[in-house]
Structure formats: C-alpha cells, structure tokens
Amino acid sequence: MKSFSVTRFLFLALTLFVFSTFGYGQGMRAGAIDLAPDSGADIIIESAYSEVPLTGHLPLQVTIENNSGRTRSWDLATTSSVGFNDTRSVHQVTTLTVADGERKVFNLLAPLSEQLSVPHYYNRFVIDLSGYAVRGNRHHLNSLYIPGHAPQPTLVAMSPELAPLNLGKLRTAAPDFAGTSFDLTLMPPDWRAFSGFDQIWMTDNEWRATDAATRLALLDWVAMDGILYICREKDDPRSLPNLGNLIENEPLTRGFGEIRTHPRQDSNLEETSTLAAIREPANSPRKLAKDLHSPSNWPLLDKLNKLKIRTTLFIGFLLLFGIVVGPVNVFVFARGSKRYRLFWTTPVISLGASIFIFALILLQDGVGGQGHQLAIWQYFPHENKAIFQQEQASRTGLLVKRDFSVDVPISLLPIQVDTIGSSTSGSFGVQQRAFSGDWFRSRSIQGHLLRGITNTRSRIEITDSSGNSPSLLSTFPFPLETIFYLDENGHWWRTENLRSGESQTLEESNKSEFDEFLRNFSNQASPVLSGEISRIHYGPGQFFVISNDAGGTWETLSTIDWETHRSFHFGPVIFSHP
C-alpha cells in the first residue's frame, strides 16, 4: 500500500507539472538549461507550439544571456525521428555565439521528419545542447499523437486567445481532433513556421496586434495551401490589415489557400459549427504523409531506367567468392606450412572482390544518375513574389557527391515510391539551405517535393489591348512554350514560343483548348501536384504558361542529369500600356 501511494503521488505531481508547464495558450519549454554553478550564463529554449507538429518545421526560440567574462558559443542540435528504432530521422545543428555582457534571442526553424508508412502518427523530437558550462544537455518535447487506424485528421493550431477555452472541449467532443496551441510572440516571420498545419485559428484582435512581418508570413503560408480562420464578433464592421474586404461567409482566396471568418463570443467558439468548419471537405487534410505517397505508375517514374537486380550473376559471384576465399585460399594459396599467408591472401581476395563489385556497378549504372522535374508556380506581381511546388524523381548510379544546396529557403519532403530500389529510411541533414545525408543514395530511386517562396520580377505584361487581339510581353528569363490568357471579358487567347523581352499578338482560343492543355500537364504529375492543380482558382486577367526550360525548376543534386524540366506558371497579368 505504501508503494502504491508513493507511485500515485509521483504520478499526480508529474501531471500537475506537465499541465503547469505545457498549458494551453502558450509555447512549450525545454526549460532553463542546466549549467555549471557560477558559469555566468543563462539559456532558455522555448517552442512556439505546445506540442510538436507531425510534419513541417518546429519554431524554437533560444534566449542566451552571457556574463561569463568572454565570448561563448554553443551548438544546438535537433533530431526529429519516426518509425521503429528511429528508422527515419532529420538532423540540424546550429552554432549560437553570444559576446560577453550580451543577451541574444535566436529564432530557429527545426525540420521535422515526415510520417511514412508507420502504424501511427507520432514524431520523436530531441534537442541536444553542447558548449560552455552545459551539464544536462538532452531535452525531449511532446508530439501530437494520432492512432494510425483513425481517419487522417485536419491538423489545427489555435492562438493563445482561443486555445484555453476551446481546445479541451473540441478534443472531448471529437476524439480524432488533432489540435494544439501556439504563441505568436515566438513565431519567426517565415511561412515554414506554420507549415505543419492545415488550419490556423486566431482572433481578429490578435491579427491586428501581430507585427507586419509575421502577418505576411501567415499570408505566404495561406498561399501555399493553408486555411486561416479569423474569428471575430458577429457583425463586426472593422477592417483587418492586409485582408481588404474580408466578410462573413465569403472566403478570401490567396494562392492555393483561403482566409475565412468564423463567429466567436469573446474567446468562445461554438462547438458544433467549429468542428463542421474544420471537417468541411474543402478543408481536407493535406499535411500528413498519405499525400506524399506516390503509386508506382507515377509518370515521372515511368521515364526512369529501371533498376535491375541480376540475381544469377549475384549468386554466382557469391559462390565463386566463397570457393576462392575458402578452399582455394586454404589449400592452394596457403597450403601446408604456408598458412601464415592467410593473413595477406584473405584481405587481397576481399579487396579484389570489392573492386570487382565497384567496377560492375560503375559499368552497369554509371556515375551520377538521371532525373525528371515538374513544377507549378503562382505569381504575385504586385508583391514581386512567387510560390513554387516542385516534384522530382531520380534514379542514381554511383554517387561521389550527395550534398547539395538550394538558392532559396525551401521545405524539402520525400515522396514515397513503391518500387525496387526505393527507401525512405535513413539519416537526413538540413542546415538552412544546405542538405546532406540520405536525400540521395547510390543505386537508388527516390522522389522529392520542394516547396518555397522566392522574390521575382517575372511577369506577363499586356502591352496593347485596343485592337481585336491583345499583345503581350514576357519578362521571364527563359522561353515559354505555350501561353494562354483569359481577358476581363472572359475570352480565351493563346500564343506559342514566347521569349524573354519579346512581344507577340495573341490568337483567339477557347476553354476546351485550355482544359486539354492543363489536363496534359496534370497527367504527368503525381497525386501531390495534380491535387494542387485541381485547386487552382481561375479568373479574368490571368495568364497560364508552360515551359520546358531548366529555368522553370530548381536544381538540387548537380551530379544528376535532369533530363526534363517541365513547369506550369500562372498569375495575374500586368497592364503596361496607357
């Protein structure tokens, strides 16, 4: 009985500690780091979310105060892993340097491992801190957990004003509800900070109080495919910064996502209508790995040379090697009194076998590899900005270099490929814009999805619309194969082979031609991008373009021969004539 009472007491104490530390409406603390006494330093690590998302990135804020008498540095390593025995993990290491007498705040984005073919949705997340005076360096953060047999949920994040009163009752009413709270003050101005969620819920007051940079990051996240709910009092006439005329029951479309309103009474949300909004088909979940699972008939895969396992040759080689390294080695090369020769004949035979295998792979698969890329771009010319989503499939031979970098901040995700030679397990490194580890492997087939935002002045300008046929000009830095334009009167126009700086007069077209044009492109995409294409919002004053130039895609691993670069671009035209 005494043992049971002590156990129960410890359990209650732990429960109180968890709720007091990780309560709704605030970030989650890894805590004040255990440093040596009288070190003169103080370190606090906080997460913007009360639970680690299942995908995307985790925003971390690290506050360091250094009064140690000299400049100090610490290495903060994050590891996100999934699967049995952590079969898939993503790592990042950041060096934090603080001068003596200074207090610095670092806003970091830790990449999270994707959920691929596991029996449940759960992400193990560990922070390791090393450096001056650090004693207790390892910290585990709690993750959202969803049983694998449950329907794929919509992942929801709620703001500090909404979370305390609503998260608990929504979880009680709907066991499959997957939601957590977040702290806007800990959010960096980067769309990837919100990328682990399908929906973000916040109040109109919080939107107004949020700084302009964070608001723009949220709008970029919406453009990627997020749904932002602004909860406001019914019939509230006040305007909202950056949202123009956002009114009830009329969503504001931005890119692939939407901004919507939802009624609130103070900080309380009506349970039934809130769950209905979360589960609405238009809000269908897109962030978990089921969306990153591609069937083996993915068109980009069909273009790759298939990996061949030469079973007969492999078995024959093993038999020959066994005979040579065994009986031949013992009874021919080191027979009788010359057994000492085994100390050098065995390594020589093994080295020869390794060289043979290396040469065989080199002759059969070559160096580097082949690949194909497909991308969709949406442009916001008045903001000099574009969002892109790119998928790629590659088949590699012998890789002498596996590290690569991309010129802009991106979210890089694996696409699970059900074919021989494909694997999504391994250790993957992310260091800002640099990637290392098992993103690419020798003699392997792999698929990836890149998502990001970049600044650009590429646009389509209407130079003359006074005649029977409009004329347009391209400022894209690469040639465009086919261009469609939907004018303000709902008429379709078309032209071909437009180069940068060149102006062409358009020919009349129709919706059927455009539908076939878009269908042909979509049929080459995996379910990931074809689903995005199906959500494109068409409207007057927009252009739609296809290009086969490498300028329309991002290069990743340079040792792969990317044989095709097909890209689809769309957005509003700019009128440059008087």
Question: Is the pLDDT reported for residue 218 higher than 70?
Answer: yes
Q: Which of 160, 123, 140, 155 minimizes the C-alpha distance to 23?
A: 160
Q: Tell me the average pLDDT across 123-138.
A: 88
Tokens of 535: 């959500």
pLDDT at position 439 over 70: yes
Q: CA 159, CA 133: separation in Å to the nearest integer?
A: 36
Owner of token pair 């790759």:
304
Cβ-count burial 326-344 (b if 16+ within 10 Å, e if not): eeebeeebbeeeeeeeeee
The yes or no reply on domain 23-145 and CATH 2.60.40.10 is yes
- Rounded CA gap, 43 and 131, in Å? 11
> Is 244 in a helix, a strand, or coil?
coil
pLDDT band at 21 (very low <50, low <70, confident <90, very high): very low
Give 371's pLDDT tier (boundaries 50, 70, 90). very high
Mean pLDDT for the chain overall: 85
Q: Coil, strand, or helix at residue 409? A: coil
* 313 vs 324 pLDDT, higher one: 324
Q: Which of 71-80, 132-141, 171-180, 463-472 has the highest mean pLDDT?
A: 71-80
pTM given for the model = 0.84
Q: Tell me the residue ranges of DSSP E strands in 360-421.
A: 369-380, 385-396, 404-405, 410-417
Q: Within the chain, which residue ranges are assigned CATH 3.40.50?
A: 151-287
Token pair, residue 221, equals 């996240």
For residue 332, the SS3 value is helix
For CATH 2.60.40.10, the residue range(s) in the chain are: 23-145
Cα-atom radius of gyration of the chain, to the nearest Å?
Answer: 28
Least confident piece of the model among 264-273, 351-360, 501-510: 351-360
Residue 4 pLDDT: 37
Tokens read off for 496: 């071909």
- Token reading at 170: 């929504």
Q: What is the pLDDT of residue 272?
A: 94
As assigned by CATH, the class of the 151-287 domain is alpha beta
What does DSSP assign to residue 341?
G
How far is residue 11 from each of residues 4, 14, 253, measured CA to CA in Å?
Answer: 11, 5, 48
For the segment 213-229, the average pLDDT, to the nearest whole number, is 94
Q: How far apart are CA 84 and CA 289, in angstroms?
A: 16
pLDDT tens digits for 279-306? 886 666 665 444 565 555 688 888 887 7
Contact by Cβ (8 Å): 367, 559: yes
Give the pLDDT band (50/70/90) at residue 443.
Answer: confident
Q: Which residues lie closer than 8 Å to 148 by C-beta, 6 or more apart?
A: 118, 119, 120, 121
How far apart CA 476 and CA 145 sit, in angstroms, is 45
What percentage of the chain exceeds 90 in pLDDT?
Answer: 53
Distinct helix (H) and strand (E) counts, the chain: 10, 35
12 Cα distance to chain centroid: 38
Other CB atoms within a 10 A radius of the CB of residue 381 amount to 18
Provide the pLDDT for residue 200.
96
Distance of CA 170 to CAs 16, 24, 160, 173, 276, Å?
Answer: 22, 13, 15, 5, 11
Q: What is the mean pLDDT of residues 8-33?
A: 45
Distance CA 43, CA 367 (A): 47
Of 573 and 400, the one with more pLDDT: 573
With 70 as the cut, is the pLDDT of residue 50 above it? yes
pLDDT for res 17: 37
pLDDT beyond 80 at 144: no
Tokens of 194: 């919100």
* pLDDT at res. 57: 94
- More reliable by pLDDT, 122 or 372: 372
Residue 575 to residue 578: CA distance in whole angstroms: 8
